Amino acid sequence: MIDKLALGTVQFGTVYGINNKTGQVPEKEVVGILRRAGLAGIDMLDTAQSYGESEAVLGTALQSLNSRFKIVSKFVAGHHLTPRRLFSESLIRLKSDRLYAFLYHKFSDFRDYPGWHEELLELKTGGHLEKVGFSVYYPQELQSLLDRGVKFDIVQLPYNVFDRRFEFLFPALRKHNIEVHVRSVFLQGLVFMKSSEIPAALAGIRTKIGRLHAVSKKSGVPVSALCLCFGLLNDGIDRVVIGVDGLADLENNLTGLNLRAETEKVFDELCLLREDDEDLILPSKWKK
Ligand X SMILES: NC(=O)c1ccc[n+]([C@@H]2O[C@H](COP(=O)([O-])OP(=O)(O)OC[C@H]3O[C@@H](n4cnc5c(N)ncnc54)[C@H](OP(=O)(O)O)[C@@H]3O)[C@@H](O)[C@H]2O)c1
- Binding residues vs ligand X (CB under 6 A): 8-11, 17, 19-20, 46, 74, 105, 135, 156, 183-189, 192, 224, 241-245, 249, 252-253
Residue, CB closest to ligand X:
8
Is there a contact between 133 and 154 (Cβ–Cβ < 8 Å)? yes
Is there a contact between 205 and 243 (Cβ–Cβ < 8 Å)? no
With respect to ligand X, which residue has the nearer C-beta, 54 or 149?
Answer: 54
Q: How far is the CB of 106 from ligand X (least distance, A)?
A: 9
Q: How far is the CB of 37 from ligand X (least distance, A)?
A: 12
CA distance 111 to 22: 38
For the chain, state the CA radius of gyration.
19
What 8-state DSSP symbol labels residue 26? Answer: P
Q: How far is the CB of 197 from ligand X (least distance, A)?
A: 11
Measured in whole angstroms, how far is the alpha carbon of residue 84 from the centre of its chain?
Answer: 24
With respect to ligand X, which residue has the nearer C-beta, 28 or 80?
Answer: 28
With respect to ligand X, which residue has the nearer C-beta, 189 or 236?
Answer: 189
Q: CA nearest 283: which of 210, 196, 190, 197?
A: 190
With respect to ligand X, which residue has the nearer C-beta, 123 or 242?
Answer: 242
With respect to ligand X, which residue has the nearer C-beta, 20 or 67?
Answer: 20
Q: How far is the CB of 168 from ligand X (least distance, A)?
A: 20
Residue 102: partners with Cβ closer than 8 Å, 6 or more residues away: 72, 73, 74, 75, 83, 87, 90, 120, 123, 129, 131, 132, 133
Q: How far is the CB of 211 from ligand X (least distance, A)?
A: 18
Is there a contact between 7 and 46 (Cβ–Cβ < 8 Å)? yes
